[in-house]
């Protein structure tokens, strides 16, 4: 019997978000609670959350030895979410970066967070601790160092590209046994690799799609850890993410111009014209409208999108793009929007309301990722009747049945990861939009009817917790 799960995450919707991990951390624990699991969440109390009017309740103070001294943090609480309050480490604006650069003390900050999570797990009597990405990967290391072997640990890799790499000179900041600084654990080519602790020391490791779980065991996708991942293949699995279907619900979304559903699509047109006006695009119902919402980084294949935008504009199509990230991509996109006014519109920034409007207002959604652990936007698109155009990688392969690939296609597949293949697929989608309305409606409807909720994935996590808990108990007999 599972007593209590503590879900540790550096970002949780609606409190702090830089990407999909926040959505998962907001929705999966709630879905687990719906299944009757006592599941609490813990995250750092970042400056903007502390400064907001959120009514936080004081849970208590924790003290723990850290080297020769004693560290202290307050624990605040909002419903099922616990916040680690320590101004020195978290009382600042950004989560991990300032002006696109990592904070220099990120190792110390997230070591502190991990150590505080261990303390909270003890206080709450958690028997399962579920860690997510490198920022929480030290939790199993502290549990091991403190001989808290009775707690089951799960580590979910949401993105292997961010491993938490630091210089060996920072090792003393971790206050971990010296023997952990060795290649079997945290050492990586003479430096520190925080994610390795999560992979090596957890009872089970999973990624957020079965395809990505296979891919990361190959050198092309393994980001230097494919050998290690192959060696733990016996405890590595993939569980696809869901989306929060209450937040992302076109029939009941306060952030879109008009409601619509698979049965009554009439509101979708109003959403399209509203988006065209909002983004300064020509208000033309007959122009195929392509959306992009993305971190502007190499992973997302932004360099594939740039060369096809002039083609889209020339074909009388439109693009609505929202994103932020690497300055070079931001500048190129701004230039393209100036070059094709009314056809290509770009908003650089993070804007949740506009994200909803783009999902609701577009005809197609472009997501040509070079690798994609799971991806949420393609599932959100399906739910909003916006046809996803995706590459054949990771979660995009697992969630989007493309035209020609199965009985109920929901999208289009870019056959290779290059601009030429993307351009061909975009041309095909424009043709379908203009000349094959029956197929267009079918793709749309199939997507809207696909189950993208957390209900199945949450059950799979519960199964995983139960299996690991049984293993641990049988080990102790
Ligand atoms: P990743 O986590 O790799 O960034 P996902 O597709 O898994 O990609 O999740 C991205 C989430 O972040 C989605 O909910 C998406 O709508 C949102 N998002 C990404 N960029 C922006 C942005 N600039 N403004 C608003 N929401 C964004």
Measured by CA distance, the residue closest to atom 20 of ligand 1 is: 294
| Inter-residue contact 274 to 357 (CB < 8 Å) | yes
pLDDT digits (tens, 9 = 90+) for 191-237: 999 999 999 999 999 999 999 999 999 999 999 999 999 999 999 99
Q: Is the pLDDT of residue 258 over 70?
A: yes
Please choose, from the candidates 318, 413, 324, the residue with its C-alpha nearest in 3D space to the C-alpha of residue 362: 318
Q: Is CATH 3.40.50.2000 correct for 5-242+455-476?
A: yes
Instruction: State whether the beta carbon of 419 lies less than 6 angstroms from ligand 1.
Output: no
pLDDT digits (tens, 9 = 90+) for 259-306: 999 999 999 999 999 999 999 999 999 999 999 999 999 999 999 999
What value does the mean pLDDT of the chain take?
Answer: 97
Q: How confident is the model at residue 477 (pLDDT cuts 50, 70, 90)?
A: low
Distance, in Å, from the CA atom of 307 to the CA atom of 243, rounded to the nearest integer, reads: 31
pLDDT of residue 65: 85
Instruction: State whether the beta carbon of 64 lies less than 6 angstroms from ligand 1.
Output: no
Instruction: State whether the beta carbon of 132 lies less than 6 angstroms from ligand 1.
Output: no
In the reported structure, the alpha carbon of residue 293 is separated from the centroid of ligand 1 by a whole-number distance in angstroms of: 6
Q: What is the mean pLDDT of residues 147-171?
A: 97
Q: Is CATH 3.40.50.2000 correct for 266-448?
A: yes
What is the layout of strands, in order, in the sheet containing 5-8? Answer: 57-66, 69-78, 81-85, 39-44, 5-8, 128-132, 152-157, 204-207, 236-238
Q: What is the mean pLDDT of residues 362-378?
A: 98
Closest ligand 1 atom to the C-alpha of 352? 25
Q: φ, ψ for residue 99 (rounded to 5)? A: 50, 50
Instruction: State whether the beta carbon of 388 lies less than 6 angstroms from ligand 1.
Output: no
Instruction: State whether the beta carbon of 460 lies less than 6 angstroms from ligand 1.
Output: no
Closest ligand 1 atom to the C-alpha of 23? 14
Closest ligand 1 atom to the C-alpha of 378? 6
Q: What is the mean pLDDT of residues 368-375?
A: 97
Q: What is the mean pLDDT of residues 20-40?
A: 97
Q: Where are the domains of the chain?
A: 5-242+455-476, 266-448
Sign of CA dihedral 395, 305, 355, 414: negative
Please choose, from the candidates 4, 29, 31, 9, the residue with its C-alpha nearest in 3D space to the C-alpha of residue 19: 9
| 266-448 has the same fold as 5-242+455-476 | yes
The share of the chain scoring above pLDDT 90, in percent, equals: 96
pLDDT of residue 436: 98
Q: Is the pLDDT of residue 163 over 70?
A: yes
Measured by CA distance, the residue closest to atom 14 of ligand 1 is: 20
In the reported structure, the alpha carbon of residue 352 is separated from the centroid of ligand 1 by a whole-number distance in angstroms of: 9
């Amino acid at each position: 019997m599972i007593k209590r799960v503590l879900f540790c995450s550096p970002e949780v919707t609606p409190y702090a978000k830089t990407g999909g991990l926040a959505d998962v951390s907001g929705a999966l624990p709630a879905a687990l609670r719906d299944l009757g699991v006592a599941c609490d969440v813990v995250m750092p109390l970042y400056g903007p959350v502390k400064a907001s009017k959120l009514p936080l309740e004081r849970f208590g103070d924790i003290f723990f030895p850290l080297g020769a001294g004693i560290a202290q943090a307050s624990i605040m609480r909002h419903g099922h979410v616990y916040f680690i309050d320590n101004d020195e480490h978290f009382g600042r604006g950004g989560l991990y970066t300032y002006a696109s650069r990592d904070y220099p003390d990120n190792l110390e900050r997230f070591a502190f967070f991990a150590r505080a999570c261990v303390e909270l797990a003890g206080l709450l009597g958690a028997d399962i601790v579920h860690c997510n990405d490198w920022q929480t990967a030290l939790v199993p290391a502290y549990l091991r160092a403190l001989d808290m072997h009775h707690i089951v640990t799960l580590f979910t890799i949401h993105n292997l590209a961010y491993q938490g790499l630091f210089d060996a000179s920072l090792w003393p900041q971790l206050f971990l046994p010296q023997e952990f600084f060795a290649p079997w654990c945290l050492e990586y080519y003479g430096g520190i690799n925080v994610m390795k602790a999560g992979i090596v020391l957890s009872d089970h490791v999973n990624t957020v799609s079965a395809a990505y779980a296979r891919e990361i065991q190959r050198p092309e996708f393994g980001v230097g850890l494919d050998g290690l991942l192959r060696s733990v293949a016996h405890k590595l699995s993939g569980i696809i993410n869901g989306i929060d279907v209450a937040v992302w619900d076109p029939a009941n979304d306060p952030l879109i111009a008009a409601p619509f559903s698979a049965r009554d699509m009439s509101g979708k047109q109003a959403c399209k014209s509203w988006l065209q006006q909002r983004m300064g695009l020509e208000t033309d119902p007959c122009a195929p409208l392509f959306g992009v919402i993305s971190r502007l980084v190499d992973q997302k294949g932004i360099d594939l999108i740039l060369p096809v935008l002039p083609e889209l504009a020339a074909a009388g199509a439109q693009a609505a793009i929202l994103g932020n990230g690497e300055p070079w991509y931001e500048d190129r996109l701004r230039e393209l929007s100036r070059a094709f006014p009314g056809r290509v519109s770009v908003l650089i920034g993070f804007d949740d309301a506009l994200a909803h409007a783009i999902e609701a207002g577009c005809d197609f959604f472009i997501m040509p990722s070079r690798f994609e652990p799971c991806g949420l936007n393609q599932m959100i698109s399906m739910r909003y009747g916006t046809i996803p155009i995706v590459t054949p990688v990771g979660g995009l392969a697992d969630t989007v049945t493309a035209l020609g690939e199965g009985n109920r296609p929901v999208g289009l597949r870019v056959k290779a990861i290059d601009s030429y293949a993307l351009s061909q697929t975009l041309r095909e989608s424009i043709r379908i939009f203009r000349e094959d309305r029956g197929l267009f409606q079918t793709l749309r409807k199939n997507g809207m009817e696909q189950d993208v909720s957390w209900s199945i994935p949450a059950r799979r996590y519960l199964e995983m917790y139960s299996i690991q808990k049984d293993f641990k108990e049988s080990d102790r007999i």
